A and B are shown apart, each in its own frame.
Chain A
Amino acid sequence: MTHSIRAIAAALGVQAHGNLDLQVSQAAEPASAGPDDLALAMQPAYGPALRQGSARAAIVWPDADWQSFGLEAAIIAPRARLAMARLTQMLDAPQGQTGISPQALIDPTAAIAADVTIGAFSVIGANAVIGAGTWIADQVSIAAGVTIGAACQIHAGARLQRRVTLGERVILQPNVVIGGDGFSFVTEQPSNVEIARDTLGAADMTAPDDPTWHRIHSLGGVVIGDDVEIGAGSTVDAGTIRATSVGQGTKIDNLVQIGHNVSIGAHCLLCAQAGVAGSSVIGDRVVVGGKAGIADNLKIGNDVVLGGGSVVLSNVPAGRVMMGYPATKMQTHIDSYKALRRLPRLLRDLVGR
């Protein structure tokens, strides 16, 4: 399938110059682009590579002297990665299979809307509801009573446990698990972890009389909002009484763990290996850097940014940029770190005198 330069520029919402009827078949790196490819050269640094390749059309940076690169047509992209978002959406092939596989096991009471795809060896439980146009890959488990909105994409190996609700256009990458039981246990008497937290570790711990961890069952399920995407191998545990929730438009990377009763707002980003412990409430548009952690029962305000690897142990007010362990304001962390780096020299000078 080919696209005209005119159609691509329209899809990107940007301007194009030259032969707008030129057809291209795929996107390519500028140096290796052939005559039917659309070269991607959104930064001046790609100029020399454009000359090496044989592309007739390219997406170029603003002010590029595109004709000097031997191009017949150019699309101007003021914001390179936004152009990539729209271009890749346009060029991506639809998911391969369609229709319901004869090897899928679907409970007769499940309500499957029109245009749903269900792959082989997927299991759909009793009274599950699958919205129109939703695409379910092979080997997906959807428990009884689960509700899935329209136009979702659920990739191979995903598991949706009981009491899970997905909004519309949700994308679950392979092996996502939604609604596993929460990690929630309690002892008869206050446990060592409770004592340690209350006293900040003032005294050594002793063996409790009864170490038994009593299981708190997870009855609350999970609610995932519209347009949420969850990366491969990530997990969202079920709430205890109320649902664990992820707000609309939030994007979660691979290998992220969301604990029970957590509430995540809208349009957040949680990068790989981030972890959110039970019952913490995260506002809207929060960015959690890779490997960052949020302890349990905390509140993180709107628009907070947590640097990679930071670990939040107390509440964070709206808009704050945090870093380090324990996470502090980024500026405070940098000041503290500078002081720490200067400490050896300072001590050497002190001893020297």
Chain B
Amino acid sequence: MTTDEKIIAIIADQAMLEPGDIAQDASLADLGIDSLGLVECIFAIEEAFDITVPFNANDPSESDFDISSVGAIIAAVKQLQTDQAK
């Protein structure tokens, strides 16, 4: 599985949708994922990629980690993989 596919699979699991139904420009809210669902997604991403996501659960918009859309999350995870591999 590519990074994109892994992340989409994690989000699809939480949204109870098929991976094929997860559009890159969809927001988590569009997919019906609420704040607690987001926390579960973040943990699943951390576990899947062995990275630490700098995520402020109390104020997601203040995080360095962009969660505004599926595509943004994928880009942010790739950036973290590069940064944290150092």
- CB of A314 within 8 A of CB of B58, answer no
Can you list, as one digit per residue, whether each of A297-331 has a CB less than 8 Å from chain B (1) or not (0)?
Answer: 00101000000000001110100000000101000
Known: A197-B35, A314-B14, A326-B36. 10 other contacts (CB 8 A): A197-B34, A197-B36, A201-B58, A202-B58, A313-B36, A314-B34, A314-B36, A315-B15, A315-B37, A317-B14
How many residue pairs link A and B with beta carbons under 8 A? The number is 39
In this assembly, does A67 line the interface, its C-beta being within 8 Å of a C-beta of chain B? Answer: no
- CB of B16 within 8 A of CB of A315, answer yes
- CB of B34 within 8 A of CB of A199, answer no
User: Bound complex: CA of A201 vs CA of B35, how far in Å?
Assistant: 11
In this assembly, does B5 line the interface, its C-beta being within 8 Å of a C-beta of chain A? Answer: no
Q: Which of A200, A315, A328 contacts B35 (CB 8 A)?
A: A200
Residues of A within 8 A of B59 (CB): 199, 202
Within 8 A of A (CB), among B42-62: 43, 47, 57-59
Residue in A closest to B38 when the chains form the complex, CB atoms: A314
User: Bound complex: CA of A317 vs CA of B41, how far in Å?
Assistant: 13
In this assembly, does B64 line the interface, its C-beta being within 8 Å of a C-beta of chain A? Answer: no
- CB of B16 within 8 A of CB of A301, answer yes
Within 8 A of A (CB), among B14-47: 14-16, 33-37, 39-40, 43, 47
Residues of B within 8 A of A301 (CB): 16
B66 to chain A, nearest CB (A): 18
Q: Considering the complex of A and B, which 3 residue pairs feature the smallest CB-CB distances, nearest first?
A: A202-B58, A314-B37, A317-B13
User: Bound complex: CA of A301 vs CA of B59, how far in Å?
Assistant: 29
B residues at A contact (CB < 8 Å): 13-16, 33-37, 39-40, 43, 47, 57-59
User: Bound complex: CA of A71 vs CA of B29, how far in Å?
Assistant: 68
User: Bound complex: CA of A198 vs CA of B34, how far in Å?
Assistant: 8
- CB of B16 within 8 A of CB of A200, answer no
Would you call the interface of chain B mostly helix, strand, loop, or mixed?
A: helix
Within 8 A of B (CB), among A314-353: 314-315, 317, 326, 328, 332
- CB of A315 within 8 A of CB of B57, answer no
User: Bound complex: CA of A201 vs CA of B58, how far in Å?
Assistant: 7
Q: Which of A197, A200, A328 contacts B57 (CB 8 A)?
A: A200
- CB of A198 within 8 A of CB of B35, answer yes
B77 to chain A, nearest CB (A): 19
User: Bound complex: CA of A105 vs CA of B36, how far in Å?
Assistant: 51
* Interface pairs (26), CB distance under 8 Å: A197-B34, A197-B35, A198-B35, A199-B35, A199-B59, A200-B35, A200-B36, A200-B39, A200-B57, A200-B58, A201-B58, A202-B58, A299-B16, A301-B16, A313-B36, A314-B33, A314-B34, A314-B36, A315-B13, A315-B14, A315-B15, A315-B16, A315-B33, A315-B37, A326-B40, A332-B47
A199-B58 contact, Cβ under 8 Å, with A313-B36, A314-B34, A326-B36:
yes
A105 to chain B, nearest CB (A): 47
Residue in A closest to B60 when the chains form the complex, CB atoms: A200
User: Bound complex: CA of A328 vs CA of B47, how far in Å?
Assistant: 13
User: Bound complex: CA of A273 vs CA of B16, how far in Å?
Assistant: 26
User: Bound complex: CA of A198 vs CA of B60, how far in Å?
Assistant: 11
Residues of A within 8 A of B57 (CB): 200
A328 to chain B, nearest CB (A): 8
User: Bound complex: CA of A200 vs CA of B13, how far in Å?
Assistant: 21
Residues of A within 8 A of B43 (CB): 328
